[in-house]
Amino acid sequence: MKVFLNVGGGSKTTSIPNHYLGWRHDLLDIDPQVKPDILCDGREINKLRSESYNSVYCSHNLEHYYDHDTYKVVKGFLHVLKKDGFINIIVPNIFQAVNYAISNNLDIDDSLGNISFKDVIYGYGKQIETSNNDFYAHKTGFTAKSLKKLVLECGFMYPVTSYGLLEIKIYAFKQKPSEELKIMLNLKDDDF
């Protein structure tokens, strides 16, 4: 059975991409209240057993580390991945958020749907306040270019970026992805 590590996912009830259906789901989180499978700070993933996961999924978590610590986290992803493994990272798109705010003459507290512009930049204020945990605050931000640079500098290859609403999604691989993996992730040769 394939297995993926969900870094900072908060809960196994949070929706995950369909390509992980049928896989074993190991949740890693720093917050003991969410009862993760692995209680661990993302900066210490390199202490886990090497080459033990087919994928690492990290959705809206990488921005919660200081910029210099993101390298430790992503290098930890590389450490735990099997040779044919891949990462699936989703982060807020700071470039898109700022452009949207400027184009729509928004102030920092103005709404972007169910969150504010400030929430995209600094973290979801209500969650930070009610949890009383500042590890929910955003400590860095990404553009597609900076995220791609980070994964390449940490040893990944063949990064593929795409965009959602105010977010950047990236896949990157330890080695050239197989045809089976490209089909599973709906990737084409010209994506690389």
50 in any annotated domain:
yes
133 in any annotated domain:
no
What percentage of the chain exceeds 90 in pLDDT?
Answer: 76
Indicate the number of domains in the chain. 1
Per DSSP, 177 falls in state P
Predicted confidence (pLDDT) per residue in 65-111, tens digit: 999 999 999 999 999 999 999 999 999 999 999 999 999 999 988 88
> What distances in angstroms separate CA 45 from CA 26, 31, 70, 120, one per listed residue?
13, 15, 12, 26
Angle at 176 between CA 90 and CA 188, to 5 degrees: 65
Mean pLDDT, rounded, for 130-157:
93
The pLDDT assigned to 165 comes to 87
Q: Over 80: is that where the pLDDT of 112 sits?
A: no
Q: Comparing C-alpha atoms, which of 119, 127, 162, 137 is closest to residue 61?
A: 137
Residues, the chain: 192
Per-residue pLDDT band for 113 (boundaries 50, 70, 90) equals confident
The pLDDT assigned to 110 comes to 86
171 in any annotated domain:
yes
Per-residue pLDDT band for 125 (boundaries 50, 70, 90) equals confident
SS3 at position 41? coil
- Cβ 7 vs Cβ 79: under 8 Å: no
- Cβ 173 vs Cβ 85: under 8 Å: yes
148 in any annotated domain:
yes
Predicted confidence (pLDDT) per residue in 4-33, tens digit: 999 999 889 999 999 999 999 999 999 998
Residue with tokens 């990404």: 142
43 in any annotated domain:
yes
Q: Where in the sequence is the domain holding 36, given as residue range(s)?
A: 3-95+139-191
39 in any annotated domain:
yes
Strand segments (E) across the chain: 3-7, 24-29, 38-39, 53-59, 81-92, 157-164, 167-173
> What distances in angstroms separate CA 102 from CA 33, 59, 111, 121, one per listed residue?
38, 26, 13, 14
Please list the residues that pair with 90 across neighbouring strands: 59, 169
d(CA 147, CA 132): 29
Mean pLDDT, rounded, for 151-178:
97
Mean pLDDT, rounded, for 49-65:
98
30 in any annotated domain:
yes
φ, ψ dihedrals at 139, nearest 5°: -115, -10
d(CA 173, CA 151): 9
Cα distance from N-terminal residue to C-terminal residue, the chain: 28
Q: What is the CATH number of the domain that holds 146?
A: 3.40.50.150
119 in any annotated domain:
no
